[in-house]
């Protein structure tokens, strides 16, 4: 089993507030982003917060994709973690950025699950 994966952590600022409040819309954006990333969706969980804001978790065969929104701040935090070499998480980031109509994004990329010494694993910042 290949443990090597890529984890993209994305901060989106200046997003459209109405999109960040709509759990169904965000869920559908993440499902489509998973397809664009060539990942297989296993399960989707949506949780809404009061007065607003949502968390969506997409469990993938290759790992996960998640978003947490703060509509009043027009901010969303996104995690995309995929294992193996067939997925394209960068394309999922671009898709989400465009669909949230964000004004800016910051992405940090990690390579995860790197075999190290004595049966341990580590990660690298890319």
Residues involved in catalysis:
63, 68, 83
Cα–Cα distance, 95 to 102 (Å, whole number): 11
pLDDT digits (tens, 9 = 90+) for 36-56: 999 999 999 999 999 999 999
Cα–Cα distance, 95 to 32 (Å, whole number): 9
The token duo for 6 is 């890529």
Q: What's the whole-model pTM score?
A: 0.95
Cα–Cα distance, 118 to 30 (Å, whole number): 37
Residue 66 has pLDDT above 70, yes or no: yes
pLDDT digits (tens, 9 = 90+) for 90-125: 999 999 999 999 999 999 999 999 999 999 999 999
Q: Which fold has domain 5-125?
A: 3.60.90
The token duo for 32 is 């489509």
Residue 38 near residue 52, CB atoms below 8 Å: no
User: Which candidate, 47, 87, 48, places its Cα nearest to that of 64?
Assistant: 87
């Amino acid at each position: 089993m290949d443990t090597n994966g890529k984890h993209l952590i994305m901060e989106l600022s200046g997003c459209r507030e109405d999109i960040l409040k709509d759990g169904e819309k965000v869920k559908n954006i993440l499902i489509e982003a998973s397809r664009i990333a060539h990942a297989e969706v296993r399960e989707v969980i949506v949780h809404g917060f009061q007065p607003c804001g949502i968390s969506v978790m997409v469990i993938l065969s290759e790992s996960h994709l998640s978003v947490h929104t703060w509509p009043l701040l027009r901010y969303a935090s996104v995690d995309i973690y995929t294992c193996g070499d067939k997925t394209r998480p960068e394309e999922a980031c671009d898709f989400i950025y465009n669909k949230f109509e964000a004004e800016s994004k910051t992405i940090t990329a990690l390579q995860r699950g790197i075999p190290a010494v004595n049966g341990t694993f580590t990660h690298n910042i890319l």
